Every structure is written in C-alpha cells, then in structure tokens.
Amino acid sequence: MATDVPIFRLNRAWVQEIRVSLVGRTILLCTLVNVFPSLLWSQDSPDFFRQNCMNCHTIGGGRLTGPDLKDVSERKDREWLIGFMMNPKSYLDSGDPYAIKILEESRNVPMPTLPGMTRERSENLLDLIDAESKLTESQFKGLQISNKPFNDADRKLGRDIFLGKHRLEAGGAACISCHSMHDVTTLGGGRLGPDLTNIYERLKGRKALSAWLVAPGTETMQPIFKNHPISNDEIHALVAYFEASAGESPAQPTSSRIALLFLGLMGSTAAVFGFDAIWKRRFYSVRQPLVDANSHQSSRSTKAHS
Ligand code: HEC
Ligand code: HEC
C-alpha cells in the first residue's frame, strides 16, 4: 500500500509532464504560429490595401479602373469574393458570368493577380472593406489627384519622362525601356509592356489613369515602382502626354523591334568597352597608389631594418 502511493504520484507527475511538454507546448506553438501572424496580417491590411488596391479601387469614392468596393459583400457572397481576390484570372477563364459582367463594366481591363494574396490576406482585406463600407467616410475614399489643366510644358515634360531624358525623381526605370508610343519610332521602345498610345482611354481618363500610376499594381510594374513611386508632378506630366496621344495609332512593332535589337547590340558592346575603361582607370586610381604605398612602406621598413 505504502509503495503504491509514490508510484501513483510519480505517474501523475509523469502524465502532467507530458501534458505540459507535448500538448501544452503544441497548443502554445500552434497559437503562436496561427494567431500571431494573422494578427500581424490584419494590422497590415490597411497598408496592404493602400499599396496594392487603392490605385484601382476606392471605398465609397466612385469607380477608378476597378469598381467602387463599398458594400461589395452585398453584391456577391463572401466565398466568391475571397476566391476572386486570390486569383481573378481563374474566374474569368472559367467563364463565370458575374466575373465577365464586372469585366465588361471595367472596359475589359482585368484585375491582375496580385503577388502575396493568400487566403488569409483575402479574408482580412474583405473584413477591412466591409468595415470601411459602414463608415460615412472611408480612409480609402480616394486619392488627391491634380485637376490643373494640362499645357504644352506638361506634355513635353511627360514625353521626356517617358523617354528617360528627364529622370524620374525617385529613380524608377524609364517607361521606354518596356513600352512603346505612337511618336517614339526612332528608338523603338520596349516590347515587354504594352504600347501606351491609347492608355488614356483604356484606363478611363484622367482620374483613373493618375490613380493607377500612383501605385502601379500589376506583376511587372509593381516591383519596379513600389519603392520608387512616381511623384504627383511626374504623374501630371505623363497623363498630359498620354491624353494628347489618345486617338493616335499605336507604334508599328516590326521596325522598332529591329531598331531595338541594334540598340541592344550597340548597348552591350558599349558596356563591354565601358567596363573595360572603368576597370583600367580603377586599377590605376585605386590599385596603383596602394601598390606605391606598399612599396614605399616595404622600402621604408627595409631601411629601418638595415
Ligand atoms: C490594376 C487594377 C486593379 C488592382 C490593382 C486591383 N483591382 Fe480589384 N478589380 C479590378 C477590376 C478591373 C475589377 C473588375 C473587373 C474584373 O473582373 O477583373 C476588379 C474587381 C474586384 C472585386 C470584385 C468587385 C465587384 O464589384 O464585385 C474585388 C472584391 C476586388 N477587385 C478587390 C481588390 C483588392 C482587395 C485589391 C488589392 C489587393 C484589388 N482588387 C486590386 C482592378 C484592380
Ligand atoms: C521593366 C519594364 C517596365 C517599365 C520600366 C515600365 N513598365 Fe509599364 N508595364 C510593364 C508591363 C510588362 C506591363 C503589363 C502588365 C504587367 O505585366 O505588369 C505594364 C503595364 C503598364 C500600364 C497598364 C497598361 C494596360 O494596358 O493595362 C501602364 C499605364 C504602364 N505600364 C505605364 C508605365 C509608365 C508610365 C512607365 C514609366 C514611368 C512604365 N510603365 C514603365 C513594364 C514596364
């Protein structure tokens, strides 16, 4: 009898030990792994919306490239909206009638599939949109966009920015490296992105195009401009240039492609020679003094020794 008790106690302690170490720790770990990041995600939602969605959507400020998202949950069910936000293309490809209807209403500009849209992030964004829809004035009602009339100086500056003659303040890449325009024939213009001659109409005028450029949200554009935003003055000038080109016919691709090929070849040849020259100069300007200093030092030290 007397021996039974300690064994029983020992067992209990043992069981408790397991509970604390395995179950307890597993629960603790799961909590940390699941709840903690979701807290972070949801805190991060307004910033994420501002960075990734506000260029195409307002909440209560009217349509931009995409529809106004105020009360979107009353138009479509939650599960559909979450899935659509994660992968809009798959809904369009499957011929979903509602997706096709909102695409037509957006002049056939599709919503891009945005990087980093996990299920959790979509859920949190929809919660944010629902909460903001209930406010009389959402923080996402819209951006402050210039409505100064355009003049010739604006259009010229816009063209220079497009061509890279005028450097973007924050250092984003020149548009011409990836886009062509109707009046940019001598240099060609890049083929990676679409021709922008008719972009003013395509993105539905000044307000929507300006908003789009505040935070370009597509796959290739976003990583380039996220940390190098185009300033308001630069957007004003670019939009002036795009407005003036609306209605022109887009650049002819073949001639510009050949021009670009030559330009590319010339560029890489120049780069090879350029690097060579720089390297040589570096050798003389950096290495030579080091070599000199070393040889002085060694001659001095040999003198000291002698
Ligand atoms: C480049 C522009 C663009 C960006 C960026 C963008 N959207 Fe969209 N969005 C659209 C367009 C255009 C549509 C409607 C056309 C379609 O079917 O693609 C749309 C549709 C939607 C819809 C369905 C709207 C409705 O009326 O049923 C939701 C919800 C939505 N977007 C949420 C988001 C969220 C959240 C983000 C940011 C993470 C985002 N969008 C980023 C352009 C954009
Ligand atoms: C490194 C290449 C690159 C540079 C530089 C670049 N773009 Fe783009 N851009 C693209 C690509 C590619 C697309 C097509 C969508 C995507 O994949 O991002 C695009 C799409 C666009 C669109 C939307 C076109 C549409 O029909 O929906 C606009 C507007 C635009 N770019 C404007 C600009 C402007 C203005 C500049 C210069 C300030 C610029 N881009 C610089 C690659 C580039």
Per residue in 64-101, pLDDT (tens digit) is 889 999 999 999 999 999 999 999 999 999 999 999 99
Q: Does residue 216's CB lie within 6 angstroms of at least one atom of ligand 1?
A: no
Mean pLDDT of 276-305: 49
Q: What is the pLDDT of residue 299?
A: 44
Contacts of 114 (CB under 8 A, 6+ apart): 52, 217, 222
Residue 38 has pLDDT above 90, yes or no: no
Cα separation of 97 and 105, whole Å?
12
Q: Ligand 2, from 177, 218, 230: best to mutate by most atoms within 8 Å of Cβ? A: 218
- Pick 249 or 306 by higher pLDDT: 249
Q: What is the pLDDT of residue 227?
A: 85
Identify the band that residue 179 occupies on the pLDDT scale cut at 50, 70 and 90. Answer: very high
Q: What number does the ligand 1 atom closest to the CA of 117 have?
A: 38
Nearest CA-CA partner of 200 in 230, 145, 244, 144 = 244
- Pick 189 or 34 by higher pLDDT: 189
Q: What number does the ligand 2 atom closest to the CA of 219 have?
A: 18
The CA 219 to ligand 1 mean position distance, Å, reads 14
- Over pLDDT 90: what percentage of the chain? 44
The CA 117 to ligand 1 mean position distance, Å, reads 12
> Which ligand gives the minimal distance to the CA of 167?
2
- Pick 262 or 93 by higher pLDDT: 93
Identify the band that residue 28 occupies on the pLDDT scale cut at 50, 70 and 90. Answer: low
Q: What is the pLDDT of residue 5?
A: 47
And the tokens for 26? 């597993």
Q: What is the pLDDT of residue 201?
A: 93
Q: Going by CA atoms, what residue is nearest to atom 35 of ligand 2?
A: 175
- Pick 108 or 269 by higher pLDDT: 108
The answer to whether residues 170 and 228 touch, using CB atoms and an 8 Å cutoff, is: yes
Mean pLDDT of the residues in the chain: 79
Ligand 2: residues with CB < 6 A are: 109, 172-173, 175, 177-179, 192-194, 196, 199, 202, 212-213, 218-221, 224, 230, 238
Nearest CA-CA partner of 199 in 217, 215, 180 = 180
Cα separation of 249 and 303, whole Å?
79
